[in-house]
Each structure stands twice: as structure tokens, then as C-alpha cells.
Amino acid sequence: MRWKDKIFSGEAAKIEEDKSGINMIKPISFYSCETEKKKLNWFCYELSMGIYDGIRENHAKQLKRQKIDDKSLAEFSIYISKKMKDIVLQKLAGKIDTVYFSYEMVESYFPTLSDGLVNKLLDAVSKAWDEQLSVCGICPTRCITEKDNYCTMFDEGPYQGVGDWKNK
């Protein structure tokens, strides 16, 4: 099948959909036992998907030239969102005034990237952060204000039983 035929058959769209954050990043990356199924960890999961999708949508070609594939990008997105968890906790505890996105967070993970590409990735992280917070403003789950509460979303819908720690 030719490339053009794949696009018209919808096959290309399916391939792209399979590489979206929801298919590349799993909730199990954000808990290792039942007690870690907290709302703040769900927030980080959602943030990681936003980071992944934003970077992939806008910078996939540049990353591929640097030999960074979708799996590495997903792992990076998980890493960054977990780093952001610490920053969120500092903000909530009043230890810092503003949330920040550090150049070192990206550079330490991808040390060979140019300054320009690191800045673009930081812009994508910042945008994903802003978008996640705007959703949080209307979401009834309240992952930030009820950060330590158990999050049933780890157990519901398409995630039920996925990576269930009891069945390992």
C-alpha cells in the first residue's frame, strides 16, 4: 500500500492515534502500590500526557533527528511530570512563590540537545502545565486541593486492572 493510500484509508490517522499520550503513557508509571493511587499522582499522569502530546505534535521531527523516539519522549514526559510534583508540593507548602520550569530538568535528561531545542521543550512543558491547570479549574476531581486523597480513576474505565500491583 502506498503512503498516499494509507492516508485516505485512515490507516495513517490510526498510526498517529496509537502514538498519542494516552497510548504511550500508562497510569502504572505513577504508583507502585495501592497507597500511591493519590489524586496528585493522577494530576502528574494527566500532565505527562499533555507534555508528551504537545512536544510530539510540535517537535517530533527535531527529536527524531536527535535519535529520540516516541518511547524516550514518553519516558521523558513521565520524568518531567514527576519532577513537577515536587515543585507543586513546594508551592502548596508555601516554600516557593512561583512554579518554575528548569532548563536543567531537560538538559539532564537529554544532554545532547541544543539550547534552542531545550527552550522549545520547556515552552511545551509550560503550555501543557497551563492547559492542565485550566482543566483543573473546572474538573470536579480536585487533584491539587485534595492531593492526598485516594484517586478512584486509577481503578476505573480503561485503566481498571491495567498494571494492577496486586496481580504482579
Report domain extents, the chain. Answer: 36-155
pLDDT digits (tens, 9 = 90+) for 23-55: 889 999 999 999 999 999 999 999 999 999 999
What is the C-alpha to C-alpha distance for residues 134 and 46, in angstroms, rounded to an integer? 12
What is the C-alpha to C-alpha distance for residues 84 and 72, in angstroms, rounded to an integer? 18
Tell me the C-alpha to C-alpha distance, in Å, between residue 137 and each of 99, 131, 132.
Answer: 17, 10, 9
Q: Give the pLDDT confidence score for residue 35 in this predicted structure.
A: 95
What is the C-alpha to C-alpha distance for residues 57 and 23, in angstroms, rounded to an integer? 15
Contact 138, 5 (CB under 8 A): no
Q: Give the pLDDT confidence score for residue 21 in this predicted structure.
A: 78
Q: Is the pLDDT of residue 14 over 50?
A: no
pLDDT digits (tens, 9 = 90+) for 150-167: 999 998 865 554 444 343
Q: How many CB atoms lie within 10 A of CB 111?
A: 8
